[in-house]
Structure 1
């Protein structure tokens, strides 16, 4: 990944220790963390103002279970690639709210690396290669279908 252009990443997470740990990991992997948001309002403002390439979005934020709405707006209105990070994947809607995949909490470095590789490839890889215990990609066909429904 070091030969790839670094991604500009927004972290949407209300647990500050998790956010800072993820920020450190992403920076160690050569990416630029452009902001950290703990609420839906902050996330949407940062997404609009900073125009990140990618947002890691937790479903339950400081202002409640608003992460799905944040993901949907970032993906469809601001054209930001979104990955969910959550311990409760059951809250992800059938249309995936425009997200490319989900990283289960507690996340692992390997899961984050594979999610980044998936996003940077810009297209799905073979399912056996892309799936781990901590990262599950959503297929491109499903993402396209959900964007056409909007």
Structure 2
């Protein structure tokens, strides 16, 4: 799965990149603000994205999520404060709260892969907060 990571804290972005690649997926780019994310979305056409809410240029992760949803690209918010996520989740499959565990992240990736593969909708893992569970 071609994955975009939108995260402004470089150590967290690199850790997330490692976890995504360890799960057998490809990271197509790292973005730390709105303009970088928009450019990567258009140039690389990700199949999935992890999006932090508060980025280098402010709380622009929500706008990035709206753009991804408008293009039909599934995404998950990753945030230290999930209360900042709009009530309707802006089209996200869910959210992962920081700090997250390696196991929780891998379970979320497996869930997303199952959805993208067209499998029957699996039960979301406990590490993934969904709109319905809120």
Question: TM-score higher than 0.5 here?
Answer: yes
Select 2:74's aligned residue among 78, 81, 84: 81
Q: Is the 8 A contact 1:131 1:137 kept in 2?
A: no
Q: CA RMSD in A?
A: 1.3
Aligned residues: 128
> Following the alignment from structure 2 to structure 1, what is the Cα–Cα distance between the partners of residues 121 and 58?
31
2:58 maps to 1:64: yes
**Runs of 4 or more consecutive aligned structure 1 residues displaced over 6 Å after TM superposition:** none
> Following the alignment from structure 2 to structure 1, what is the Cα–Cα distance between the partners of residues 114 and 131?
14
Which has the higher Rg, Structure 1 or Structure 2? 1
> Following the alignment from structure 1 to structure 2, what is the Cα–Cα distance between the partners of residues 124 and 55?
19
TM-score normalized by the length of structure 1: 0.80
Q: Which moved more, 1:91-100 or 1:59-68?
A: 91-100
2:4 maps to 1:16: no
**Equivalent residue number for residue 34 of structure 1:** 28
> Following the alignment from structure 2 to structure 1, what is the Cα–Cα distance between the partners of residues 56 and 121?
32
Stretches of structure 2 that go unaligned for 5 or more consecutive residues are none
Q: Is the 8 A contact 1:115 1:137 kept in 2?
A: no
Matches within 5 A, 1:121-132: 121-122=114-115, 124-126=121-123, 130-132=124-126
2:93 maps to 1:96: no
